[in-house]
Structure 1
Amino acid sequence: MDIGKRIVSLRERRGWTQKELANRVNLNVSVMNRIESNDRPIKDSELLNLANVLEVSTDYLLGRSESSTLSQTEKKEAEFQAFANNPTLQKWYKELPKSKEEDLEKLRKMWEILKDHGEI
């Protein structure tokens, strides 16, 4: 199964429209349509966002794995990445990929605290 079909299948399992998924991963609906129909290659950042939102590994989307189930570690990372890539967060947060590893680790600890206390 190709990447577009896998995305469609996962989206439909959740009962989401193409527009809903596009909004969740911050893509234009026409771009989402072209990705799902394999008319446009997927960018690395889009692949990561889709995997996070659909709660699967990038390997599954790429067809390198037949298991769509994430390990506990992968789930935690996917949750964190979804939080980190949320387009509604403040502008400073957009600079996260350029941050030092120690800053990312501090942010991960803050994320865990917020999550453990039910704030997210």
Structure 2
Amino acid sequence: MSLGELLKELRGDEGLRNAAKRMEITYSYLAMLEKGTDRRTGKPLKPTPETLQQIASAYKYDYMKLIEAAGYLLDPAYNPALKEPFAHNSSLQQWYKSLPDRNEKDVEKLKTIWEVIHESGDN
């Protein structure tokens, strides 16, 4: 489901003006968010995480679900879990966290070791 479809569903029968007022955004901006495009340019519209927070608060909806619908979930700036090494592999992440005195240099060493192993497999 797109962000626009989700926003329409969350708004339900409530009017655009009333919903936008509760979010402290303009009703025309909310209408564009629901359509998914900027009416002036025709380009896709991506609200800021701050705007998504206002929407989540107004609808009493999970902020992270809005972040995901808006395409921010894979952005480390908005998803702290991705800032950690091996964010997409929980078993490797657990193993890494169990290492004593781990740091960025360790990750670089592991990357180098992996590259050597990967290259030797190509021969």
* Range class of TM-score, shorter chain: 0.3 to 0.5
More helix by share: 1
Q: Provide the TM-score with structure 2 as the length reference.
A: 0.46
Q: Provide the TM-score with structure 1 as the length reference.
A: 0.47
State which structure, 1 or 2, has the greater radius of gyration over its C-alpha atoms. 2
Indicate the structure whose relative CO is greater, using CA pairs within 8 Å and at least 6 residues apart. Answer: 1
